Amino acid sequence: MTEPTRAGRDAPPTEELPATGEAVVVTATLDDLKFGLDGIVPAIVQDATSREVLMVAYMNAEAVRRTLETRRTWFYSRSRRELWPKGETSGNRQRVRDVLVDCDGDALVVEVDQEGSGACHTGARTCFVRHLDV
């Protein structure tokens, strides 16, 4: 989230280049995540190579833990109220290269190598194929 706040608006960038010119890698842990009242955060799954946004799903703390441990995506189904490993039945698994946390700790970007036909339950490469018209 990037809602304007008085404290944050004039704050310096979180990531800066040191004098050596080498990029600083800033890390976060599970404790930095701020799960919502329902105990979940949105996870944006992005193709690590093409940078295409493949899908959006949700993770609770346990889904994040399993994702980090197995390096495969695990999500939390809000309707079924259970964890599900992506691609277990379809073979469309996602190998996790990196997980990024936003400034507020309430959203994740999961960079993956997509296996199989794609990320979408329709079989498409991405869930985002429709363009919104006015």
- For the CB of residue 19, give the shortest distance to a copy of itself in the complex, in Å: 19
- For the CB of residue 69, give the shortest distance to a copy of itself in the complex, in Å: 7
CA–CA distance, 46 with 35 (Å, rounded to integer): 21
- For the CB of residue 29, give the shortest distance to a copy of itself in the complex, in Å: 6
CA–CA distance, 76 with 38 (Å, rounded to integer): 11
Q: Which of 71, 93, 73, 83 is nearest to 39 (CA)?
A: 83
- For the CB of residue 21, give the shortest distance to a copy of itself in the complex, in Å: 17
Which residues are 123's β-sheet partners?
none
Q: Which of 108, 94, 85 is nearest to 28 (CA)?
A: 108
Q: Which is nearer to a copy of itself, 16 or 19 (CB)?
A: 16
Q: Which of 52, 53, 69 is nearest to 61 (CA)?
A: 69
Where along the sequence are the contacts to a copy of itself (CB under 8 A)?
1-5, 8-15, 25-30, 32, 42, 44, 46, 50-53, 55-57, 64, 68-69, 75, 77, 79-80, 84, 86, 89-90, 98-104, 107-109, 117-125, 127-134
Q: Which is nearer to a copy of itself, 35 or 84 (CB)?
A: 84
